[in-house]
Amino acid sequence: VPALEQEAENATISQGVVESNHAGFSGTGFVNYDNVIGSSVEYTINADSGGEHDLTFRYANGTTIDRPVSVTLDGAGAQTVSFPGTGAWTTWQTRTLKVTLHAGSNKIKATATTANGGPNADKLTAVLTGPADNEAP
C-alpha cells in the first residue's frame, strides 16, 4: 500500500512559520504554529482510493503541556488529536487517527484549540487500512 504524504512546510499555513532550527525533521523544515487558538496547517492528500486511512501526524512538543488540535476533513467531522510533550523540540513522535478519505484531493486541516498553539508539525502521512472504495460518489 503506497503511503501518501505532505510535508507541513508545503501545506497551507495560517498563523505559523516554517523553521528548521530543531533537528530531526523530514523535508526542509517544520511548521511552528503561532501560540494562539486558531493557528492551523491544512494538508492536501491526493488519495488513490477512497476508504479508511490511518492519518499519522509527525510532531515535536518540547513542553510538558499537551497541544491538542482539531482535525477536519474538507471542513467537517472535527476530531481532537492530542499532541503531548515529546521531551525536547528535537524529539519527534507520531499520533495517528482513522479517517475515511475519498479518492482525489482531501483537505485535512489541523487547527490549534489552545492558546499555546499547535505542536511543531513535520508532516502528515496517509495509509489506506480498509477496503478501497472507488465507487463514484
Q: How far apart are CA 104 and CA 57, in angstroms?
A: 20
* Residue of 32, 72, 106, 125 interacting with ligand GCU (CB under 6 A): 32
Q: Which residue's CB is nearer to ligand GCU, number 49 or number 90?
A: 90
The Cα diameter of the chain in Å comes to 46
Our measurement of the distance from residue 112's CA atom to the centroid of its chain's CA atoms, rounded to an integer in Å, reads 11
String marking each residue 35-74 x if it binds ligand GCU according to CB under 6 A: x---------------------------------------
- Number of chain positions touching ligand GCU (CB under 6 A): 6
State the first-to-last Cα distance of the chain, in angstroms, to the nearest integer. Answer: 23
| Binding to ligand GCU, residues 72-101 (CB under 6 A) | 89
